[in-house]
């Protein structure tokens, strides 16, 4: 890489891993919003619903760890899902300040109905690649995410959160 800052071109930006990951994130979200527009759901809301369905009675702190999403921002996601009547909050039996999250019938129906659209999202994201390249890309992305987990502002802590849930259950 040249040391003279004036010699850096946009080509250097366009080929940088960070830039490429940011652009791919923008593209993935755009495809999700397009394919799932009839459901009025964001990718983070979808992930939260799947986690709540998988772990009924999860609290917001543990949900944050399971989907690797900032706890303070997750509050507004939970509020929107509750407003749409896809989830409900109930006080924890041992601590009324803690609210446990449960999927409603409407939330369950939404997840059932949205699955074909989510499947199309995943297929469209990878469609331009050859099948072998898709497999390679996913394998490399899994490695990068796993090996760089601790560098995240919100590292994935699903195992820790789920271990706590199993002790509470």
Structure tokens at 154: 């919100």
Average pLDDT in the chain: 92
**pLDDT digits over 11-43, tens only?**
999 999 999 999 999 999 999 999 999 999 999
Strand, helix or coil for residue 163: helix
In the prediction, which pLDDT does 154 show?
87
Q: What backbone torsions phi and psi does residue 149 show, to the nearest 5 degrees?
A: -50, -45
Name which of 102, 116, 103, 105 is nearest 38 in CA terms.
Answer: 116
Give the rounded distance of the alpha carbon of 166 from its chain centre: 22
**pLDDT digits over 48-91, tens only?**
999 999 999 999 999 999 999 998 899 999 999 999 999 999 99
Q: Is the dihedral of CA 28, 78, 165, 161 positive or negative?
A: positive
pTM given for the model? 0.87
3-state helix, strand, coil in the chain (%, to 5): 70, 5, 25
């Amino acid at each position: 890489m040249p040391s003279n800052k004036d010699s850096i071109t946009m080509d250097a930006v366009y080929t940088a891993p960070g830039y490429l990951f940011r652009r791919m994130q923008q593209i993935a979200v755009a495809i999700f919003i397009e394919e799932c527009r009839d459901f009025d759901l964001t990718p983070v809301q979808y992930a939260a619903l799947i986690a709540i369905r998988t772990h009924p009675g999860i609290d917001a702190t543990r949900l944050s760890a399971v989907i690797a999403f900032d706890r303070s921002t997750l509050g507004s996601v939970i509020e929107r899902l509750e407003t749409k009547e896809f989830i409900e909050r109930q006080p924890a039996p041992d601590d009324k300040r803690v609210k446990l999250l449960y999927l409603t019938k409407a939330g369950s129906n939404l997840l059932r109905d949205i699955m074909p659209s989510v499947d199309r999202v995943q297929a469209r994201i990878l469609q331009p690649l050859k099948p072998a390249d898709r497999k390679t890309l996913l394998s490399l992305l899994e490695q990068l995410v796993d090996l760089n987990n601790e560098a995240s502002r919100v590292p994935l802590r699903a195992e820790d959160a789920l271990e706590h849930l199993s002790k509470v259950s």
